[in-house]
Structure 1
């Protein structure tokens, strides 16, 4: 003889273990404009810098995904220099604001890598060089078109 036993109610759910929402590794670049009339010479630690911002004065952070083209902090700084000279957008489609002067020798680009390492790179006449974190930051007035070099 068989006796019927009640079974507990069960719920079956599909659990996706692949994280499709994970963003690709990226470098973020912030440009600090040298506000000293320096005749296109390299950045000096005592030079005051102003962070480049969007027209609404919010921070301007350029994003570059790690790829065959962007493998190092220097690659990301070079890509930021390119965007900062109106030569295209970053990897999120953001372009350089029209009312901010172009990135040039003497400016500093802060690059945060996917490994969270931060490098400050001076824009030099022929490439970039690592510099200490700038300590003299000023109002962005020196970056706007009215003050273009």
Structure 2
């Protein structure tokens, strides 16, 4: 024979848990245009870089949500390259400003991921490769 036991109701939650739907993991990409005369031969650490900005001078930060298409820092850099060549927009509907040249070989893209780790990549003739973070991007 079993006897029903009534337990008091309890609520379990994590302190600081979000109250709404979980925010997606986000990658933020910033493009630095290489302004050296021979920049199209590839990035060199001594090359001067200029950050891509909006017309008002604020830093252009491209945002990409983690998805099947954006799985890591390199995927986000590839997506930034696409946006930087007028082929679409980021996940916040930002497009590449028409007063900045397209993203090209020799430029640098820094990507900060959901884990807050920042990866610096140079644009190569095919894809991107890791480089040390420039001293003054």
Q: Which whole-Å deviations, capped at 9, do the CAs of 1:21-54 have from their partners, x for residues lacking one? A: 5421010000000001216211000001000000
SS in 1 for 2:40: coil
Matches within 5 A, 1:41-60: 41-60=41-60
Contact kept? 1:46, 1:136, Cα under 8 Å:
no
- Equivalent-residue separation in structure 2 for 1:91 and 1:78 (angstroms): 14
Deviations 1:58-105 (A, max 9, x none): 010000000000001000000000000000100010000000110000
Q: Aligned partners of 1:19, 1:69: CA distance in 2, in Å?
A: 28
| Pairs within 5 Å for 1:77-96 | 77-96=77-96
Q: Taking structure 1 as the reference length, what is the TM-score of the superposition? A: 0.77
* Higher Rg of the two aligned structures: 1
Q: CA deviation at 1:20?
A: 1.8
Give the Cα separation in 2 of the matches to 1:37 and 1:26.
Answer: 34
Question: Which whole-Å CA distance do the structure 2 matches of 1:39 and 1:114 have between them?
Answer: 31
Point out where structure 2 has 5 or more consecutive residues left out of the alignment. Answer: 1-16
CA pair 122-65 structure 1, distance change in 2 beyond 3 A: same
**SS at 1:74's partner residue?**
helix
Give secondary structure in 2 for the equivalent of 1:105: coil
